[in-house]
Amino acid sequence: MIKNRRELFSFQWTCASLAGLAFLAGCAATPVSSPKSTGWIKDEVADSYVFGYPLVLMDVAREAATGTDPGQAPVNTLRHAQALPPVGAGRPTTPSLDTLDSTGWLDVSEEPVIVVLPDPHGRYLDARALDMWTNVVWSTALLRAPAGARAAGIRTQTIAFVQKGWQGDLPAGAKRVEVSTRYVWFSARIQTNGSRDITAVRKLQRGIRVAPLSVFNGETRAATVVTRTMPPETSVASGSPAKVAALDATGFFDRLAQALADNPPAPDDPDALKKLADLGVTPGAPVQLPTRASDAIAAGLADGRDRVASAPTNVLTANGWRWFGDGVGNYGPDYALRAYAAYTQPGIGTKDDEIRATVAQDSDGQALNGANRYVIHFAPNQVPPVRGFWSVTAYTKDGALGETKPPRVSVGDRNGAKRNRDGSLDVTVSAVRVRAVNWLPVPRGDFQLVMRLYAPKPQASDGSWQPPEVVRQ
């Protein structure tokens, strides 16, 4: 009898112990499950921010550039920059001194839009079209001579930008370019040789024609405003990265959701769209981010912003310079590269259109500063490999044209950079005038250099060519 009571007590104690352990296990599991419930939110917010950043940036830029206000133009018309950019902060970052831009936003949702480029008669002309995800859908690089030949200009071209699946007749000789997004960002850049050359550039700008198909065919009357002058201090993407950075999570993802309705991603990515759906982001619908997860959403947004501003590993670097290689312009699923390119160089073309290398440190890793003198020595086989032309321009550390004498100057083969007897080339970088053959004036404070290669050769983007270091004297 006593034995049975002992067995019963033992059995009851065992059950109680197991129940207690289960309770303790449940208590121990409780704080672990709580972070898991929002941890996925942080990760997916960051991933989705990187994925959607180019589309939001382009949508912000489009909205700022289209309309009837000063500096704007309606869709399917062009804005022409007809003067060199001014000096000072608050301007587009690192503006080019080599070309004048003609830009416009095309809407292909109702009918194709026709673009006619004039024959530049040997003058360098660079044109490209980007979809709303910053993929280059067409560019004049496709019309260039084979690699190794000199790329001066192109002949008259007619391009028809057509929404994917559109059926109908196009003008004779028009090149059909299918686009999966409603809007297309078109940009044409024409080489200029300084202020005295502006009249010739403007004449070519007037020769660029943009019109919807029905207008082009004369079926409907052309719009009253065909082109507009673009003030030199404006840019299609001017200020867009700052505007996107100012958006909170709801603002960013709501904008992304609305833009997705007309601009599906390419390539189609069901995994990325599923992550957005998990967060309550559906194309064309009001965004409904997860409730009671504000900390996770804020952390994910901060992480996403950091990732967009951080260079991915496939960006080329050498001797302090940084530039894009083969993947730029045609990104596929490389969302990190696509977002970083949109953030740092909005509107950048493919590796065959342009290479833009930047440097802000000398060969010792010190910040470039106008109090010092530097030399960039190009060995005979290190001169920028181009079929168009190349240049080096100095900017403030914030990307503005600084106060220099002479003002607004770049050095390159376009403006007569001279080589040494052995074929090498030296560029002297200094805020104080020097008697060097190739002198590049720079701002007196910290500055950065941008080297542009127009119609670069393949070795400029495959890593076999590297820009030389900037050596302090």
Model pTM score: 0.86
Which pLDDT score, from 0 to 100, does residue 196 have?
82
Which pLDDT score, from 0 to 100, does residue 83 have?
85
Which residue, among 445, 436, 438, 379, has the nearest Cα to 414 in the 3D structure?
A: 438
Q: Strand, coil or helix: what is 187? A: strand
Question: What is the rounded (10 degree) CA torsion for 301, 346, 80, 264?
Answer: -70
10-residue stretch averages of pLDDT, the chain, 473 residues long: 39 40 41 58 97 97 91 91 73 83 96 96 92 96 52 76 96 96 96 86 94 90 49 55 95 98 89 96 96 95 98 95 94 96 94 95 97 97 94 93 83 90 96 92 95 95 94 96
Whether the Cβ atoms of residue 79 and residue 139 lie closer than 8 Å to each other: no
SS3 content of the chain, % helix, strand, coil (to 5): 30, 25, 45
Which residue, among 69, 124, 163, has the nearest Cα to 389 in the 3D structure?
A: 124
Backbone angles phi, psi at 179, to 5 degrees: -130, 135
386 strand-pairing partners: 456
Which pLDDT score, from 0 to 100, does residue 195 have?
75
Q: What angle (nearest 5°) sits at the alpha carbon of residue 322, between those of residues 415 and 242?
A: 95
Which pLDDT score, from 0 to 100, does residue 405 have?
80
Which structural domains are found in the chain, ordered by start? 72-233 (2.60.40.1610), 316-472 (2.60.120.600)
Which pLDDT score, from 0 to 100, does residue 415 have?
81
Q: Which two tokens stand for residue 15?
A: 């059950």
Give the separation between CA 155 and CA 123, rounded to whole angstroms.
11
- Tell me how far CA of residue 8 lies from CA of 12, 17, 21, 22, 110, in angstroms: 6, 14, 20, 21, 83
Handedness of CA 200, 137, 143, 381 (dihedral sign): positive
